Structure 1
Amino acid sequence: MVYITNLVATIFGPLERVQLLVVLLVLSGLLSSASIILLMPLLKRYALARPNARSSHRVPTPQGGGIAVIIAACLPLMLILLFSGSDFKFAWGSGIGLRFLWLTFAAAIGLAIVGAIDDLRPLPVLPRLLFQLLAVVAVAASGSGGNFLPVPEWITLIIVYLAGLWFVNLVNFMDGLDWITVAEMVPITAFITILGWFGFVPLSSALIAASLCGALLGFAPLNRPVARLFLGDVGSLPIGLLVGWMLLELAGTHALAAAILLPLYYLMDATITLFRRLAKRERVWEAHRSHFYQRATDNGFPVMAVVTHVFVLNLALAALAAVTLLWPTGVVQVVALAAGAVLVCLVLRRFSQSRTTAPVEVSR
């Protein structure tokens, strides 16, 4: 044990920020790919997602790729923290706040277990929401952002809990098309990793962002249209939790506008769809094909066209978020948020329009 501790400290101790983040990204990517190869026979046997009227796929496809993603996102950093101990020092500070990562890891893994159970045997709505809320409360308690809203702290906490619960679920709702979660979350996690490189976000956020980005890249080849593997709730729920926590940490650095801009497409698509379904008195907890990205495929958009729109849109939103960080004035924040909302609305409007070409099959 002492040898392993000294080895890890020797390897990772002197690394500069960019080196450490790149190492974590690459390690997580390799571990994700290797885990998928090992898990695939079991997933094909026990975790097939069979198509139904609301599905975007045509043949039974294994789900549960999120197991590999969460393992790859958490395990490398957990091992570094476990074996390096007090010797885990970086060029950019003492690592204050890293101890809270254990609570974040525990919440994410717990939510992944709930998601895995739900994948195999759907849970009732209320117990599922309760488990999700417990995970959100645990992760919010580990945050270091403080009160970033101009309201009493207890009101901020309620808003954070409700927003976190919604974000976990909307990521799950939006994970209904090949590569869409990759197109959404890779730009967000990559951007937060870059912010960590320059010291704009806490060290803990940057480390998890790099690990999760690498894990998603390792998963991406098998989820590429036409997908041979899906994330499943075991992946989408903890990914929503981890990314929501990163955005909370970002908001706590007086960068609320950037924290809103980065996931703005998912936020607007899911939230508008929710209110439209509520207005129609539909059961919003049931599966459906009302999201804008789903309507796009129904309107004749190829899957690659949809995810390309989402990916390019997220690059534009990340650029606007960068502007709000470089010029943190009130006017710039408002203009950037308005510009981001306009861009998302344009994409949603485009998804809502039928193409003149014949509809294409969205998956196998």
Structure 2
Amino acid sequence: MVPLELLVSMAASGILIGTAVLSAVLIVLLKPLLVRYALARPNARSSHRVPTPQGGGIAVVGACLLVAGAFMWNTDLPANGFLAVAAASVMLALVGAVDDIRPLPAVPRLLLQVAAVAAVVVASRVRVLPDAVPLAVEQALLVFGGVWFVNLVNFMDGLDWITVAEMVPVTAFVAACGLLLPDLRPAALVAATLCGALLGFAPFNKPVAKLFLGDVGSLPIGLLVGWMLLELAGTGALAAALLLPLYHLMDATITLLKRLARGEKVWEAHRSHFYQQATTNGFTPLSVSGHVFGLNLLLAALAAITLIWPSWPVQVACLGIGAVLVGLLLSHFAKPRLKSPA
């Protein structure tokens, strides 16, 4: 008989490839409409220089949810958590689609995000903190963290390939964990489909990008990945769940704190993220995304170590090493590149 692990691995590979193909096909079909109705025109805060269609996230999120839903429909995987996150993701995609065409006021947009994240947190029923912490307090903290994560993924989606460079390693890692952690398999399935959908999107977004995700993609992707990381943390792998998105967490959070200290309106667009400073300082978009991708492979390796050796000293050490590695890259991005002598 074929071992169960091999069957699961083969199924995951087929799901990833199939979702990648579906995502690419949907992009080809949708692109004429996006060129006509959803052009992102450059401004002083943009990283692009020519009008570029946005809305590729429709294909990415659509392919992800369609394939994951079809697979769950034909298997005995529990779908309750998935149904909640899928519905919430569709809602955020609609919010993002409207915002891409005509920017929404900050307050209604935030309230809709809170509602979507709260629905996912309640449906997930995951406990991350010790049982001594009241459930209501923990869920409130998770909603706050989830809303921040959704927004930081949106904030960080401002450069060609950077979301692919961040989210492909994260989703691939969670998908692989499904081979070892049966309780994680619903989230691992969605991780595999989202990974495949992003790979299908990648050729269209490579520098210089011919297509952007748009808020219709970045907001639900933030919600989906946040849910996967919450489910991963619920298995006891909290350190791994923190390590995987650590570059995005540190870049966005440090930038927010610096802007708050300067008294800036943090809800307004800007170009002060470290990855944006890097392009100003002489890094090409491909170089920035390449650095982020390489760092994320190292963070994934540290996350794997915390799963193999789950003692708290190892987890603390890996988190410390991860924070140092991210700090070094942020510092590297913040410094102008030395020009080679003529």
Matched, 1:172 2:154: yes
Matched, 1:232 2:214: yes
Structure 2 equivalent of residue 139 of structure 1: 120
| Matches of 2:246 and 2:205, distance apart in 1 | 23
Deviations 1:243-295 (A, max 9, x none): 00000001111111111000000000000000000000100000000000000
Look up the SS of the partner of 2:178 in the other structure: helix
Structure 2 segments unaligned to the other structure (5+ residues): none
| Residues 171-210 of structure 1 mapped to structure 2, 5 A cutoff | 171-199=153-181, 202-210=184-192
Match of 2:243 among 256, 261, 276: 261
Match of 1:350 among 332, 338, 342: 332
Structure 2 equivalent of residue 57 of structure 1: 48
Structure 2 equivalent of residue 294 of structure 1: 276
Structure 2 equivalent of residue 112 of structure 1: 93
Structure 2 equivalent of residue 100 of structure 1: 81
Q: TM-score normalized by structure 2?
A: 0.95
| Matches of 1:98 and 1:105, distance apart in 2 | 10
C-alpha displacement of 1:14: 12
Deviations 1:94-152 (A, max 9, x none): x2x32321111111111101100000000000000011111101111221422434632
| Residues 211-250 of structure 1 mapped to structure 2, 5 A cutoff | 211-250=193-232
Structure 1 segments unaligned to the other structure (5+ residues): 1-12, 90-94, 359-364
Checking the alignment, whether the CA contact within 8 Å between 1:295 and 1:352 is kept in structure 2 is yes
Matched, 1:38 2:20: no
Match of 2:110 among 125, 129, 136: 129
What amino acid maps onto 1:146 in structure 2?
A: R
Structure 2 equivalent of residue 341 of structure 1: 323
Checking the alignment, whether the CA contact within 8 Å between 1:43 and 1:63 is kept in structure 2 is yes
Match of 2:10 among 3, 13, 19: 19
> More displaced, 73-82 or 153-162?
73-82
Checking the alignment, whether the CA contact within 8 Å between 1:144 and 1:249 is kept in structure 2 is no
| Matches of 1:200 and 1:270, distance apart in 2 | 33
C-alpha displacement of 1:79: 2.3
Q: What is the aligned-residue RMSD (CA, Å)?
A: 1.6
Number of residues of Structure 1 aligned to a counterpart in Structure 2: 336
| Matches of 1:142 and 1:24, distance apart in 2 | 25
| Matches of 2:311 and 2:267, distance apart in 1 | 40
What amino acid maps onto 2:108 in structure 1?
A: P
> More displaced, 15-24 or 125-134?
15-24
Checking the alignment, whether the CA contact within 8 Å between 1:148 and 1:252 is kept in structure 2 is no
What amino acid maps onto 1:75 in structure 2?
A: L
| Matches of 1:114 and 1:263, distance apart in 2 | 24
Look up the SS of the partner of 1:16 in the other structure: helix
| Matches of 2:5 and 2:66, distance apart in 1 | 21
Q: Percent identity?
A: 59
Checking the alignment, whether the CA contact within 8 Å between 1:251 and 1:258 is kept in structure 2 is yes
Checking the alignment, whether the CA contact within 8 Å between 2:19 and 2:196 is kept in structure 1 is yes
C-alpha displacement of 1:203: 1.2
Look up the SS of the partner of 1:315 in the other structure: helix
Structure 2 equivalent of residue 3 of structure 1: none
Q: 1:201 to 1:274 in 2, by over 3 A?
A: farther
Checking the alignment, whether the CA contact within 8 Å between 1:144 and 1:252 is kept in structure 2 is no
Checking the alignment, whether the CA contact within 8 Å between 2:23 and 2:200 is kept in structure 1 is yes
Look up the SS of the partner of 1:177 in the other structure: coil
| Matches of 2:247 and 2:5, distance apart in 1 | 39
| Matches of 1:123 and 1:58, distance apart in 2 | 24
| Matches of 1:210 and 1:127, distance apart in 2 | 32
| Matches of 1:228 and 1:285, distance apart in 2 | 27
| Matches of 2:255 and 2:176, distance apart in 1 | 32
Checking the alignment, whether the CA contact within 8 Å between 2:5 and 2:179 is kept in structure 1 is no
| Matches of 2:183 and 2:71, distance apart in 1 | 20
C-alpha displacement of 1:41: 0.3
Look up the SS of the partner of 1:197 in the other structure: coil
Structure 1 equivalent of residue 313 of structure 2: 331
